[in-house]
Amino acid sequence: MEPEEMINPAVLKWARETAGLSIEEAASKIGLTSGPRGSAAEKLAAIEVGARVPSEAQLLKMAVAYHRPLVALYMAEPPRPAERVEDFRTIGAPVATREAVHLDALVRDVRMRQSILREMMEDDEDSEAIEFVGTLTVATPITQAASRIKAALGIEDDRSLRRGMHEPQDLFNELRRRTEALRIFVILLGDLGSHHTAISPNVFRGFAVADNLAPMIVINDQDAKAAWSFTLVHELTHIFVGNSGVSGLPVTTEPRTPNARIERFCNDVAGEVLLPSQALAHVPKLASVEATMREAEALCRDWHVSKAMAAYRLWRERKTDSDTYGEVVRIFGAQWQGQREREKEKSRDIDGGPNYYIVRRHRLGDALLRFVGRGLRADAVTHTTAAKVFGVRPGAVEPLLASIAGLGNGAPRRKAAQ
Collapsing DSSP states into helix, strand and coil, what is residue 216?
strand
- Sign of the Cα torsion 21, 25, 28, 29 reads negative
Question: Which residue type is seen at 146?
Answer: A
DSSP class per residue in 316-368: HTTSS-HHHHHHHHHHHHHHHHHHHHHHHHHHHTSSS-S-HHHHHHHHH-HHH
Per-residue pLDDT of the chain (418 residues; tens, 9 = 90+): 444 457 899 999 988 887 778 899 899 999 999 988 889 999 999 999 999 999 989 999 998 888 777 777 888 888 655 444 678 887 766 777 788 888 988 998 899 999 999 999 998 888 899 999 999 999 999 999 999 999 999 999 999 999 999 999 999 999 999 999 999 999 999 998 888 889 999 999 999 999 999 999 999 999 999 999 999 999 999 999 999 999 999 999 999 899 999 999 999 999 999 999 999 999 999 989 999 999 999 999 999 999 999 999 999 999 999 999 999 999 999 999 999 888 877 776 666 667 889 999 999 999 999 999 999 999 999 999 999 999 999 999 999 999 888 887 654 444 444 3
Instruction: Report how far residue 133's alpha carbon sits from residue 259's, in angstroms, rounded to the nearest whole number.
Output: 18
Burial of 77 (0-12, 13-18, 19+ CB in 10 A): exposed
Instruction: Report how far residue 234's alpha carbon sits from residue 247's, in angstroms, rounded to the nearest whole number.
Output: 9
Segments in 70-222 forming alpha helices (H): 97-123, 142-153, 158-162, 168-180
Strands 185-188 and 216-219 come out as: parallel
Residue 206: phi and psi, rounded to 5, are -160, 170
Instruction: Report how far residue 209's alpha carbon sits from residue 189's, in angstroms, rounded to the nearest whole number.
Output: 14
Closest to 241 (Cα-Cα) out of 125, 343, 149? 149
Collapsing DSSP states into helix, strand and coil, what is residue 232?
helix
C-beta neighbour count of 384 within 10 angstroms: 15
- Sign of the Cα torsion 121, 266, 153, 189 reads positive
Instruction: Report how far residue 398's alpha carbon sits from residue 20's, in angstroms, rounded to the nearest whole number.
Output: 35
Is 186 in contact with 221 (CB distance < 8 Å)?
Answer: no
Contacts of 36 (CB under 8 A, 6+ apart): none
Percent above pLDDT 90 for the chain = 69
pLDDT tens sequence across 386-414: 999 999 999 999 999 998 888 876 544 44
DSSP 411: P
- Secondary structure of 240-258 in HEC code, one letter for each residue: HHCCCEEECCCCCCCCCCH
Strands 206-209 and 216-219 come out as: antiparallel
Q: Which residues of 21-38 are buried (b: 16+ CB within 10 A; e: fewer)?
A: bebebbbbbbebeeeeee
Strand-pair partners of 216: 185, 209
Closest to 239 (Cα-Cα) out of 389, 131, 155, 151? 131
DSSP class per residue in 22-90: -HHHHHHHHT---BTTB-HHHHHHHHHTTSSPPPHHHHHHHHHHTT--GGGGG-SSPPPPPPPPEE---
pLDDT tens sequence across 70-82: 777 888 888 655 4
* Domains of the chain with CATH codes: 3-74 (1.10.260.40), 97-274 (no CATH), 356-401 (no CATH)
Segments in 212-321 forming alpha helices (H): 228-241, 258-274, 289-303, 307-316
CA distances from 417 to 32, 116, 385, 387, 414 (A): 31, 16, 9, 11, 9
